[in-house]
Structure 1
Amino acid sequence: MQNFIIMPECGCEKRKFSEGYVKIGFTFIEKDELQLPQCGICMKVLSNDSMRPNRLERHLKQQHPPLVLKTKGCDESTVDCAQVIVYGRYIGGDIIQEEILYSQSLTAGTTSEDIFNSLSNFVEKTDLDWKKLVGLCTDGAPAMIGLS
């Protein structure tokens, strides 16, 4: 007969996602009643203990140094600054590469129509072909599904 030791639940602090983490480039997933931060660039899921601004920023600096940008057009004292950042993934040789294609502050609003118009203007100005778009991902904000 085997002996089993029942461990008490961890008394560790369960960190919660803050909307400010979206500005850094993170969203979250829920697993086993825990919120875990997920990088919007590499989609890597970090530990709940990483749900701190300094640790999320460290991930970006270490894992994605060329993509770390200062937010243009946003006053740092303004909490409600919305920005559209479009990443492009493409095959370069035998590896998948990623670059920021477009970054723009939204001054008119953050409805799905405002976001689409901003992106559409960029596509038209740069003569990109909409037919070559094979996928689209958002942070799941209510504006992306038509709610403002």
Structure 2
Amino acid sequence: MTMDRVEKNIKKRKYSEDFLQYGFTSIITAGIEKPQCVICCEVLSAESMKPIKLKHHFDSKHPSFAGKDTNYFRSKADGLKKAKLDTGGKYHKQNVAAIEVSYLVALRISRAMKPHTIAEDLLLPAAKDIGRVMIGDEFVTKLSAISLSTNTVRRRIDGMSADILDQVIQEIKSAPLPIFSIQLDESTDVANCPQLLVYMRYINDGNFKDEFLFCKPLETTTTARNIFDTVGLFLKEHKISWKKVCGVCTDGALAMLGC
């Protein structure tokens, strides 16, 4: 089937009010109408605009709402529309809170060194069970707005890591004495791939501060030249001069010593 025929078939699938019984309203993105769940706000593909696929989503992800009537889902759909129009009121604040919670959960997962799948597979379902029993279904609805998929958790962690690195770089550049020392270590991970770890010590607010700088794979060799080039490329990307490096600490391995 050609792409033109696929797009043509997608455009033919229109939203029906009957889909409300499965908790779905519609949203238009890039000129294409797509189904959106009023419970978890997830937007499915245009090809999912079919009763069987919408019912599968409802039965597998929201079984606790099976007893709700169409009016309940209609009110949820109305609330969702208001949320799209409201940028400073209650709905906006709820959305901001849901995003903040998503980051906090991702931070805990990262610190505990747990797999990213644990949020969607265990933490969120457990939180919903607790909320349903202790508070009620309305609380479960609020929890459903929290995005904790594996990809979302990964993006949250990547975003926080990038933000921390930006803060460290800015602290170095804005320091009254903009010099720093680095500690390097080359190791091998569980996949037998060499990794270069670099830590940095610099002065911040009159005190010495130690921060993890980066971990990068050594894709070619583990020679001194390769290690030097990897560090040099990082400094160049962040516009930091080698002249600011006042000390280098290693474990004394031959590659680190340039042998």
TM over 0.5: no
TM-score under structure 2 length normalisation? 0.27
Question: Greater Rg, structure 1 or structure 2?
Answer: 2
TM-score under structure 1 length normalisation? 0.44
Higher relative contact order (CA 8 A, sep 6+): 1
The structure whose residues are more often helix, as a share, is: 2
The structure whose residues are more often strand, as a share, is: 1
